[in-house]
Structure 1
Amino acid sequence: MNVLITGIHGFVGSNLVNALKRTHTIYGLDIVFPEKEGVVKTFGWKDLKHDVIPEVDVIIHLAGKAHDTKNSAAAGVYFDINTRLTKRVFDYFMESGAKKFVFFSSVKAAADSVPGEVLTEEVVPDPKGPYGESKIKAEEYIQGVCEKVGEMSKRVYIMRPCMIHGPGNKGNLNLLYSVVKRGMPWPLGAFENRRSFTSIDNLCFVIEGLMTKEVPTGIYHMGDDDALSTNELIEVMCEAMGRHPRIWKLNRGLMEGCAALGSILHLPLNRERLRKLTESYVVSNEKIKAALGIERMPVSAREGLLKTIRSFEEKK
C-alpha cells in the first residue's frame, strides 16, 4: 500500500516506518523533513495539497501536541494542533482517494481517571484538561463528518492508546526509570494499583492489521494484554538493570497525611500527585483484538517493558 504518515519523525512515527517500510510505500508529513530511510519523501504542512502529495491508500495521523505533565503549555496550543490540525488532515482525507484513515487520539480523551475497573469504548467521554479536551473535540469532528456522509466505502479508525513505550521513548516512564536508576527507594509500595501500558511493537502490529484487514470503522482502545502494578513495574525495571528492587511499604495513612500536608505547604508530594502515582488505570483491548481476529497481542506487557528499559540502559 501507499501510506502517508503525519508526525513521521516522532517516536511512534519512526517505529511505524521501521515496521512498515519492507512491505509498503511510505510518505511523510511533518514540521521538519530530513531524509529518512524507508520514506520516499517527507512533505511540509504547506504541501498538504492534492496536486503536491501523491495519492495514497492510507493516512495515519500521528502529529499532535503531547500531554505536558508540567502544565507549561498554553491551552490554545493543544486545540490548534490536536483539534484544528486534525480537522485539516481529515478534510484532506475525505477529499482524497485514500480508503482508510487512522487518527491517534488518547485514552485521556475518554477519561482522566477510570470509572469502574476497566476503561472500555462504551464510556461516556469526560476528559479533564486541554490535552484530553482537544483530542475529544477532534474525535467529535471526525464522527460528525462520518455521520453526515452516512454509509461510505472509506474506513475511519480512532485509536485511543494508553501510555506508549519502546526504544526511543521520552515519556513518563523515563522519569520513574531515573528514580530507580539512582537507587532511590519507592516509598509507596503499600498502595496496590494496576496500570495498562502499550508496547510500541503491539501498536505497530495493530496498525498494520487495520491497514490490511477489513476492520469496521470505529473507536478502539489500545493497550497490552496485562496491567501491571507500579511495584511490578519497578521490579521489571530492576530486572532489566540487574538490580534488587527497593520498595518500601510505608503506612498508607502516614503517606496520605504527608500528602495532605504537602497540599497545604505546596510540597512536591501532595494529594493530587499521590493520587496520580497510586491510582489504577486499566484499559480494555478486547474490542480491537476481536476486530483483528486475535486472542492475544504478540508481545506481553512484561516483555515489552523489559525491551524498553534495556534500551534505556543501552543508551546510558
Structure 2
Amino acid sequence: MKIAIFGGSGFVGKNLIKTLQSKFDIQEISLRNSFWQKTIDKETDIMINLVGKAHDHKGTATEKDYYFANVELARQIVEEFKKSDASLLIHVSSIAALEELGSDKPLEEIDHCRPLSLYGKTKREAEKLLLDEDLPKNKKIIIIRPPMIHGPGDKGNLGLLYKMISKGIPYPLASFENNRSFLSIENFCYYVEEIIKKKSEISSGIYHICDDESVSTKDIIEIIGEVTRKKTVNLSLPKVIVQKMAKIGDYIPFPLNTKRLKKMTSNLLVSNEKIKMSLGVEKLSVSAKDGLIKTIKSFQTK
C-alpha cells in the first residue's frame, strides 16, 4: 500500500513516518516544491495531510498566513486527491476547530463549533471545505481532531513546565483544579495506522482522537517529580494574583501569560468514543500517564 504524506517534516510527521514506513510504502511530499502536485506517485492509495500552521511564537503571522497554510493548501491537496486513484484522505485538524475556551464535559463531534483564534478558525474553515466536497463513492475523507499531542521531540508547554519543576522552582498554580485530554504521539500514530488498516469499515467524517484518560496539571507535576526523583513544591497562590501576573506576561517577556494560564488551568475534555467504536478498539495500549512519562524522560536527554 502506497501512502503520500504531506507536511511530514515536523514533530508529528517524523514520528508518523517512522511508525508507518516499516509496514507501508511511504512518500513524503514537500509543498515547498512549486511542482509538488507532479511528484505524487500515481499509484498512491492513501493521502495524509499534516500541513498546518499552529504556533506563532514571534507574533508576526497574519490572517493570510494562517488561511494559506490551513485552508488553501488543504483545498489544493483535496483537489489532487479527487483527481488521483487514492481512496482515502486523512486530514489532521485540531480540537481548536471546535473549542478553545475549555469544556467541563467531554467534547463530541456533534457539538457546536466556536473557535476563537486564527488557528482554530482556519482549521474549522478547512474542515467545512472538506466536508462539502462531492466525492465519488469509492473515496473517503477522514478528519481527525486531536488535542495537544506530545512525545519525544515535543517543544510545547510540557517542556516549559518540565524546566521549571526540574530546577526546583515551586509550582505556583496549585490553587487551580483542572482536567484535560492529551494525546501521546504513540497513540496518534496508532489511530492513524488503525484507520489505514480499517479504511473500508470507517465512514467519512470528523473523529476526535485522544488518550483514554484525562490528566490534571497536578498529575503532570507529580509525574515530573517521579521521573526526576525530585520533590516538587506546590504553591496555592490566590487565583486573582496569578491572573494579574499572567496579564503582565501579555506585555513583557514572562514565563506566564493569560493564554498559557488558560491552557494550564482550564478543563478541556474530549471524547474518543466515536473513533474507538468505528475502529473496534476497546482500550488504547498506551495510557495517558505512560505517554507523559515517555515525553518527560525525553526532556532529560536534551
TM-score normalised to the size of structure 1? 0.87
Return the alpha-carbon distance in structure 2 between the equivalents of residues 307 and 261 of structure 1: 31
Return the alpha-carbon distance in structure 1 between the equivalents of residues 226 and 213 of structure 2: 18
Return the alpha-carbon distance in structure 2 between the equivalents of residues 86 and 162 of structure 1: 20
Letter in 2 for 1:188: L
Structural mapping, 1:149-188, within 5 Å: 149=135, 152-188=137-173
Contact 2:89/2:140 (<8 A) preserved: yes
Return the alpha-carbon distance in structure 2 between the equivalents of residues 221 and 49 of structure 1: 32
Partner of 2:240: 256
Structural mapping, 1:97-108, within 5 Å: 97-108=85-96
Letter in 2 for 1:96: S
Return the alpha-carbon distance in structure 2 between the equivalents of residues 228 and 71 of structure 1: 30
Tell me the CA shift for residue 181 of structure 1.
2.2
CA 1:211–1:184: 2 relative to 1, 3 Å: same
Letter in 2 for 1:26: I
Letter in 2 for 1:218: G
CA 1:11–1:272: 2 relative to 1, 3 Å: closer
Contact 1:106/1:160 (<8 A) preserved: yes
Tell me the CA shift for residue 76 of structure 1.
1.4
**Alignment counterpart, residue 212 of structure 2, candidates 225, 246, 267:** 225
Tell me the CA shift for residue 68 of structure 1.
2.7
Return the alpha-carbon distance in structure 2 between the equivalents of residues 208 and 152 of structure 1: 22
Contact 2:93/2:123 (<8 A) preserved: yes
Tell me the CA shift for residue 69 of structure 1.
5.6
CA 1:64–1:22: 2 relative to 1, 3 Å: same
Partner of 1:58: 46
Contact 1:30/1:63 (<8 A) preserved: no
- 1:207-251, CA deviations, whole angstroms, 9 ceiling, x for partnerless residues? 01111102111101111011111010111122122212221223x
SS at match of 2:74: helix
Tell me the CA shift for residue 270 of structure 1.
6.2
**Alignment counterpart, residue 281 of structure 2, candidates 272, 294, 314:** 294
Partner of 1:46: 35
2:78 equivalent to 1:87: no
- How many correspondences in the alignment? 297
Partner of 1:27: 27
For structure 1, which runs of at least 5 residues remain unmatched after alignment? 33-43
Tell me the CA shift for residue 132 of structure 1.
0.5
SS at match of 1:63: coil
Partner of 1:13: 13
Question: Following TM superposition, where does structure 1 have runs of at least 4 consecutive aligned residues deviating by more than 6 angstroms?
Answer: none
Partner of 1:237: 224
Moved more, 22-31 or 203-212: 22-31
Give the structure, 1 or 2, with the largest relative contact order (CA under 8 Å, sep 6 or more): 2
Return the alpha-carbon distance in structure 2 between the equivalents of residues 45 and 243 of structure 1: 51
Partner of 1:304: 291
Return the alpha-carbon distance in structure 2 between the equivalents of residues 90 and 272 of structure 1: 33
Pairwise CA RMSD: 2.1
Tell me the CA shift for residue 67 of structure 1.
2.9
TM-score normalised to the size of structure 2? 0.91
Moved more, 220-229 or 151-160: 151-160
Tell me the CA shift for residue 259 of structure 1.
2.3
Tell me the CA shift for residue 273 of structure 1.
5.0
Return the alpha-carbon distance in structure 1 between the equivalents of residues 229 and 42 of structure 2: 49
Letter in 1 for 2:3: V
**Alignment counterpart, residue 66 of structure 2, candidates 62, 71, 78:** 78
Return the alpha-carbon distance in structure 1 between the equivalents of residues 214 and 269 of structure 2: 6
Identity %: 38
Contact 1:2/1:26 (<8 A) preserved: yes
Contact 1:162/1:222 (<8 A) preserved: yes
